[in-house]
Amino acid sequence: MKTHHRNSSHSNSVDNTPMAESHCTGKNTGKKTSTCEFCGKAFKNRYSLKKHYSSHTDVKLFACKACEKRFSERAQLKVHMRTHTGEKPYICKTCGKRFSDISTHNRHTAIHKEEKPYSCTTCGKNFCRHDSLVLHMRTHTGEKPFSCKTCGKRFSDTSAHKRHTVIHKEEKPYSCGICGKRFCRQDNLALHMRTHTGEKPYVCNTCGKRFSDKSAHNKHTAIHKEENLYSCQTCGENFSGGSSLKVHMRTHTGEKPSS
């Protein structure tokens, strides 16, 4: 009579770990499923159960080979790897901006919706989301709640804070092939390369001026906005800032700036 031997190498790779022995002892049923002892969710095999179990603990099974950061789910690792590869598979259908993860993409697309129920009581600007209004209000209050633990520099939003903190890390895996300067992030290298190539991909639709980075482009285009908050009551000319209006008013009053 033939004896059938089941290949148990896969299950052994799971069960031999201390975590599997002490925590992942699933309850076997007639359907050969393993059940999580914490939430009762059933899985086809013990490997899937072990992967699920990490959601109940601080155990992070999936490690990034580039920076060794660890994650409890493979999907989280996949999204994280895009910070190293620069991959941005999610595209805004309205403006073409690209994103590495779906949640950031979804938050961005909301800004194109017509409905903007959240209004700034200081300048009247409207927003789709409440957290966007909170962030905007800091431009009026000057609040900067996020502080760099290394140098103490403060930031008004967490994304700018995170981008800054990486400059203190010793590891800079991205190197410029022309001058050898090294960078923590691939997008910083891409921006730096434009100092060598002269590339200026961002164009002002109003005056045609070109820029190498988006932040400089955005600052510039603000001066062309049709909605200007400060208006001259004498001639009706509009200005984007109170200081510009003040300088303009001297053309009517003849006032000379104080020395």
| 166-184 tens-digit pLDDT | 777 767 778 898 898 888 7
Task: Check residues 2 and 71 and name the one with the higher pLDDT.
Answer: 71
Among 102-116, 119-133, 147-161, the range scoring the smallest mean pLDDT is 102-116
Task: Check residues 179 and 4 and name the one with the higher pLDDT.
Answer: 179
Q: What integer pLDDT is reported at residue 143 of this predicted model?
A: 92
pLDDT at 128 over 60: yes
| 22-42 tens-digit pLDDT | 344 444 444 547 787 777 788
For residues 169 and 25, what is the distance between their CA atoms, to the nearest angstrom? Answer: 41
Which residues contact residue 236 at a Cβ distance below 8 angstroms, ignoring those fewer than 6 apart?
A: none
Instruction: Please give the mean pLDDT across all residues of the chain.
Output: 76
| 52-92 tens-digit pLDDT | 766 666 667 788 888 878 887 788 888 888 888 888 898 88
Q: What integer pLDDT is reported at residue 18 of this predicted model?
A: 33
Residue 1 pLDDT level (bands cut at 50, 70, 90):
very low
| 109-124 tens-digit pLDDT | 877 776 778 889 988 8
Q: Count other C-beta atoms under 10 Å from residue 10's C-beta.
A: 11
pLDDT at 16 over 50: no
Helices (H), the chain: 9-15, 18-22, 46-53, 74-85, 102-109, 130-141, 158-165, 186-197, 214-221, 242-253
Chain-centre distance for alpha carbon 2:
59
pLDDT at 216 over 50: yes
For residues 51 and 61, what is the distance between their CA atoms, to the nearest angstrom? Answer: 8
Among 43-52, 70-79, 157-166, the range scoring the smallest mean pLDDT is 43-52
